[in-house]
A and B are shown apart, each in its own frame.
Chain A
Amino acid sequence: MPVRIGRLLVVALALALAGLMALAWALLAGSVQVAPADVLAAVLGGDGMAANVIRELRLPRAVATFVCGGLLALAGGVMQVLLRNPLADPYILGVSGGAAVGALAGISLGLAAAWVDAGAFAGALAAMFMVFGLAHGDGSWTQTRLLLTGVIVAAGCGAAVTLMLALAPDTRVQSMLFWLMGDASGASRPWAALIMLLGGLAAVLPVARDLNVLARGELSARALGVNVRRLRLGLYVLASLLTAVAVTQVGSVGFVGLVVPHLVRLALGNDQRVLLPTAAVAGGILLTVADTLARTVMAPQQLPVGVLTALIGVPVFLFLLARHPR
């Protein structure tokens, strides 16, 4: 579509504003009341107990949830084009299943949080290589084959997860369930994930118009001069890595990766040059808001953030779907 610069600027401004508001709310909300001015001072490097709460707890968590929401939405948007399937989400090819197996193995052994994260990341990478190896085994590389291999590997991981839950001691089952539903309480090292998100956007934006063409089919894309083989391999690795990083931070939070790209598509159309960056920011906003709600609505009890993303996302999505009869 020809650029409508005015419209894009409005969207960009609205997203920036909403993003800042979501982050500000995440910094303000919590059991320790901190005045907005003190929050600002703390972020800019002030001292004191309140400043520590902000800088050590709320800021890393707010950034981590924002970044992970962005990673999941971006990965979901890429997967939907790669598999040309509107039902695709970042987890469809088994990356989160592998991560869950790694993380739950860590939890059931009673390992420290850092090792659980390491297990999740290793599991995600193992699933990614396994799916790729199996789908690519004979050199062919069709969407159906990739999709089926991914779904089967994910199912295998699901069985392993259920087995671990069944065998785990009661004391550990709850933290396992929290991990599975998505839990941002342990997210405290957001900067690597942030670099990953920026790197992912930098990698995908130059080929975004190629993605528009790829969405119309592999053969058509080749006829239009797109190097489909290289592009699809790159997209697969990228989407898997983005998902692995997000899942390592916040567990397998559902819904963001599936629904945010669709929300953006309903609102702005299917041009990946607009859709992917917008989805990344919108996913960040959704997950930050959901996580802030998760730790405040029933405070001091913390809810798994994955429940909140679904509770917010389902009605919003159904509302938009009803408004756009296409």
Chain B
Amino acid sequence: MDRHALPARASVAPLLEAEGLALKVGERWLCCEFSLELAPGECLVLLGPNGAGKTTLLHTLAGLREPSVGAVRLGGLPYSGWSMPEAARFRAVLLQQQPDHFAASVIETVLIGRHPHLGRWGWEGVEDERIARAALADVGLAGFEQRDVLTLSGGERQRVAVAALLAQSPRLLLLDEPLNHLDLRYQIAVLELFRRMTGEGRGVVMVLHDINLAARYADHIILLDGRGGVLAGDRDTVLQADCLSHAFGHPLRRFEFEGRVSFIPE
């Protein structure tokens, strides 16, 4: 699938590493130093209350922002060691807002994901179009190819954005609230899609609001408490009622039902 060679270390190193990472916006520390590694096949979920800095952290992990302290490595190399198109073939980013200022068809919007795979003068070919159509089918939008994105509902637009990400065929996906605007059925469908992708050896990092979905899909969790505190580790270490209650500022109770853990607000 990857037509372009990756830097030598990329294939053996963890997909993503944060080492002594700390973030500061203005005068405020969003999180104190923490370290983390994401191996192929793993899923990391970022949790925290509004304004805790989940998006800032995701952008830092995606190389769109310099870390205030510490280092981020993608496939074993700092972002400065990657050319921008190379990095874009390795990792894809789903942003929280999908800016559509000009009209465009759904298939054109999805084909944007092929950009880093094409050369300077390259045009999207038959193979690119096949990948884009398959990505649309994966998010349940087969047959929407010629629709104008401006005429879609919020949930459909969100799925178009996910399809564009799939068309980018990255090794690592960084997703800012991928379930925005999605109904229950597509929330699960999209999460199952990401689980299949981790099954293929890709990595997923995502910001979620639903603690119970995080409990179901995450291998690792970073919990930000909005006051600079950060808890990073395995799912079962972080997902404790007292830690969550502290971070979200609301008491939560843990239940176990048929082997599945859920947290219910008091």
Contact = CB atoms under 8 A, between A and B. Distances in A.
Nearest to B94: A223
A326 B105 contact: no
A225 B101 contact: no
Contacts of B97: 217
A160 B33 CA distance: 56
B124 A269 contact: no
Interface in A210-249: 210, 212-213, 215-217, 219-220, 222-227
Interface residues of A, number: 28
A137 to B, nearest CB: 20
B43 interface: no
Q: Point out which of B93, B101, B113, B124 has the most chain A C-beta atoms below 10 A from its C-beta.
A: B101
A108 B24 CA distance: 56
Contact of A225 (B95, B116, B124, B151): B116
A300 interface: no
Nearest to A225: B88
Nearest to A5: B123
Interface in B89-128: 89, 92-93, 95, 97, 99-105, 107-108, 111-113, 115-116, 118, 120-126, 128
A319 to B, nearest CB: 18
Contacts of A2: 111, 123-126, 128-129
Interface-centre pick from A210, A212, A219, A270 (highest chain B CB count, 10 A): A219
Contacts of B52: none
Nearest to A215: B102
B99 A226 contact: no
Contacts of A38: none
A217 B150 contact: no
B1 to A, nearest CB: 17
B151 A213 contact: no
Given A86-B101, A216-B99, A223 B64 contact: yes
Q: Which of B105, B123, B128, B129 has the most CB of A within 10 A?
A: B123
B247 interface: no
Nearest to A222: B64
Contact of A269 (B99, B101, B108, B125): B108
B95 A220 contact: yes
A269 B104 contact: yes
B103 A326 contact: yes
Contacts of B123: 2-3, 273
Given A1-B107, A220-B95, A326 B64 contact: no
B125 A212 contact: no
B148 interface: yes
Q: Among B85, B86, B122, B128, find the residue whose CB has the most chain A CB atoms closer than 10 A.
A: B85
A215 B111 contact: no
A226 B84 contact: yes
A224 B108 CA distance: 15
Given A224-B168, A225-B115, A269-B104, A1 B99 contact: no
Contacts of A45: none
A166 to B, nearest CB: 39
B48 to A, nearest CB: 21
Given A225-B83, A225-B87, A326-B150, 8 more contacts: A2-B124, A3-B124, A84-B101, A216-B99, A222-B64, A224-B116, A225-B116, A226-B115
